[in-house]
């Protein structure tokens, strides 16, 4: 399993255990929380592999159906 899949799994686990109950309590839509989390993961990816590096791995895209899991 590559680092991207592990990062997505960790993000989903964190969302399910920590973020979702608080978001639902204050009325933030689930889709908005997942979009923000995915953007944060992309920012971390870009920061970890600056554009100057030659061997930047391809960014993993999560389909809409997987974001709702």
| Contact present, 37 and 62 (Cβ < 8 Å) | no
pLDDT at position 32 over 60: yes
CA dist 58 and 12 (Å) reads: 20
pTM of the model: 0.47
| Axis-axis angle for helices 30-48, 3-14 (nearest 10) | 140
Give the pLDDT score at 5.
73
**pLDDT tens profile 33-68:** 778 877 877 787 777 766 655 565 566 665 554 544
Give the pLDDT score at 50.
66
Give the pLDDT score at 15.
74
Give the pLDDT score at 42.
79
Give the pLDDT score at 12.
74
CA dist 64 and 62 (Å) reads: 7
């Amino acid at each position: 399993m590559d680092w991207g899949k592990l990062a997505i799994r960790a993000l989903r686990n964190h969302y399910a255990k920590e973020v979702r109950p608080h978001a639902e309590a204050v009325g933030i839509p689930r889709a908005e929380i997942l979009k923000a989390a995915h953007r944060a993961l992309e920012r971390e990816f870009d920061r970890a592999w600056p554009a100057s590096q030659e061997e930047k791995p391809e960014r993993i895209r999560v389909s809409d159906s997987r974001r709702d899991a």
